Amino acid sequence: MSTAFELAAASAATHVAPWWLPGGNAQTIWPALRGRGFDGTAPRFERERWATPDGDFIDVDFLATSNARDEANAPLLVLFHGLEGSSRSHYAQAFAHWATQQGWQFALPHFRGCSGELNLAPRAYHSGDFEEVGWILARLRTRVRQPLLAVGVSLGGNALLRWAEETEGSAAAVVRAMAAVSAPIDLAAGGHAIARGFNRQIYNRMFLRSMKPKALAKLAQHPGLFDRERLLAAADLYAFDDVFTAPLHGFKGTDDYWARGSAKPHLARIRIPTLVLNARNDPFVPAASLPQPHEVGRHVSLWQPAQGGHVGFAAGRFPGRRLGLPEAVMGWLQAH
C-alpha cells in the first residue's frame, strides 16, 4: 500500500491541473489570488528583529500558534520567500499551516525591505543573496537541537540553492535537506521571459509597481545612490536591475548579476539532499531553461511536471484548492 508521502509525491511530480484552469498563467494567478492551501484558521506569527552584521536589520516571523512539543526539541522549517513576498504570501501561509499541524517550529526571514518597513543600509536583496541566506540559517541553527529543513520559493529558492552550492560539504552541518519551488535558476532566461508579451503587461508591471517606490525611498535615504531618472524610465526587470539591483550589490550590471546569481550552472556542487520543483508551464521559468538529470549531482532530485504554473499547482473542483504542496515537498524532505 502506498504511503501518504508516496501519494503526495506522485501528485506533485506528475501534477495535472483541473480542466477549468487551463494554461500556466491561469495556474499561476488563480492560486495567488483565490487559492487557499489549507483548511482552518490562518497561522499567526510573532516577529523578531535581528541586527545584521552591517548595521542593518531583518525581520523574522515565527509561528506563534505552534503545537510544538518542546520548541528546542521540535524540528524547524525555514521558508525563504519570493520576489516581493512575505509571511502573508499564500505559499507562506500554507507551509506555516503544515508546520502547525505537525507540531514543528516555523520561521520566515524577510529579505531586506519586504517586512513592511524600509531597511537602513544602501542595499536591498537579490536572487543570488547566498551570504545573507547563510547568515540567517546559521543563526537559526543555534535555536534547535533537531533537524533544520529549508524551503525556498521562487527568488528565495534560487538564493537557497546558491548558498548550498557555495558552502558545498559544510552545508550539512546547518541544514539536513532542502527544496526549491518554482525557482528561476537561470536568471537570464527568466528575466527575458517576464519582459515579453502577456508577462510584460501583467507580471512585469506588478513587480515594478512594488519595487520602484521602494527604490525611490532608498534613494531618499541615501541621496546619490543611483540615477533617479534611469530608474523611473525602467520598463522591465532588466533595466531595473541594471540601475538598482546590480550596482547596489556589487555586480557590474544586469548581465553580470544574472550570470553570477543563477543557481543552474552549479547544481552539481550541492552536497545535501535537495529537491528542485518546477512546472514546465511556469510563465517565469521557461521549460527549455530547466536542468536535465545529467546536469545535477546525485544529491539533487528534479520534479518537473507539465502543469502547475508559478507556485500554483491548483487542484480540485471549482473554485479549487491548491495542491497539497507542503505535504508533497515536506514529505520528500522528511524522507531524505
- The candidate with the shortest Cα–Cα distance to 60, out of 91, 33, 87, is 87
Catalytic residue among 89, 154, 182, 289: 154
Say whether 154 is catalytic. yes
Say whether 294 is catalytic. no
Classify residue 233 as exposed, middle or buried by CB count within 10 Å of its CB (0-12, 13-18, 19+): exposed
**Which element (helix H / strand E) includes 108?**
strand 105-109
Residue 178 has phi, psi (to 5 degrees) of -155, 165
Cα–Cα distance for residue pair 177/272, rounded to 1 Å: 6
Coil, strand or helix at 76? strand
Map grid coordinates 550552472 to a residue.
265
Through-space distance between the first and last CA atoms of the chain, rounded to whole angstroms: 20
Number of Cβ within a 10 Å radius of residue 39: 8
Per the omega criterion (within 30 degrees of 0), is the bond before 18 cis? no
Yes or no: say if 331 and 176 are a contact pair by the CB < 8 Å rule.
no
Coil, strand or helix at 228? helix
Q: Which three cell numbers stand for residue 141?
A: 541553527
Map grid coordinates 504542496 to a residue.
325
Yes or no: say if 145 and 76 are a contact pair by the CB < 8 Å rule.
no
- The candidate with the shortest Cα–Cα distance to 15, out of 31, 34, 39, 38, is 31
Catalytic residue among 59, 66, 282, 299: 282
The residues that are catalytic are 154, 282, 310
